[in-house]
Amino acid sequence: MSDPLSPVDQNGPHSGHTLEVQRLFVQHQQVMLYYVLTIEPNLGDAQDIVQETFLAVSRKAETYALGTNFGAWACTVARYQALQFQRARQRRTARLDDDVIEMLYGGDAPEPESLIPRTSALKRCMEKLAPKALELIRRRYHIGELPEDIASAVGWTPNAVRVALSRARQNLRICVDRSLGSPELS
């Protein structure tokens, strides 16, 4: 019986090229998660998308030219996986339309490394939020609850939740921009 992890043939799932692409993916996995979170704010769903992206990248490994920008290539695969995931899920939560995501990201995915400072700044800024605002943000974007569901849980009206979420997002945006030294705030 042969070793199931040994290369079977040059184009098989365990070829040296595929293993190198998988190694690169693992190396970029955290950055990939940051990128997917820009499209799919629910952490659990984003992690699922990253796992599906790993499988897709493994299947498409032979189309990647070693030595080129792996992050950009993998982010493109991740974008399509996120769109496919959202279509399959057909949740009633509001999501960006496919054409809006394509317009935002076009054919050029952002450099994944460029998301790290912004994500770190966002984490620091979230720690500065008032406890109630942080709870609303977590319920909406990490758990994926709708404002109506959050309102029932916290004893507010849905409109009050929407207003509080809008203020919290605005405060986060200002805080992140200041942290990154955004020219608009200088």
Give the end-to-end CA distance of the chain in Å, rounded to a whole number: 67
Q: Please state, in angstroms and rounded to a whole number, the distance separating the CA atoms of residues 163 and 168.
A: 9
Per-residue pLDDT tens for 48-97? 999 999 999 999 999 999 999 998 899 999 999 998 888 877 654 555 55
Confidence of residue 34 (pLDDT cuts 50, 70, 90): confident
- HSE-CB for 123 with a 13 A CA cutoff: 6
* Cα 153 off chain centre by: 27
115-185, which class in CATH?
mainly alpha
Q: Please state, in angstroms and rounded to a whole number, the distance separating the CA atoms of residues 102 and 76.
A: 10
Q: Are 40 and 85 in contact (CB under 8 A)?
A: yes
Phi, psi angle pair for 111, to nearest 5°? -65, 120
Cβ-Cβ contacts under 8 Å for 99 (sequence gap 6 or more): none
Per-residue pLDDT tens for 146-177? 889 999 999 999 999 999 988 998 898 889 88
- Mean pLDDT rounded to a whole number for the chain: 80
16-110, which class in CATH?
mainly alpha
Q: Please state, in angstroms and rounded to a whole number, the distance separating the CA atoms of residues 160 and 181.
A: 31
Comma-separated ranges of CATH 1.10.10.10 domains in the chain: 115-185
Comma-separated ranges of CATH 1.10.1740.10 domains in the chain: 16-110
Cβ density class 82-120: b for 16+ within 10 Å, e for less: bbebbeeeeeeeebeeeeebeeebeeebeebeebeebbe
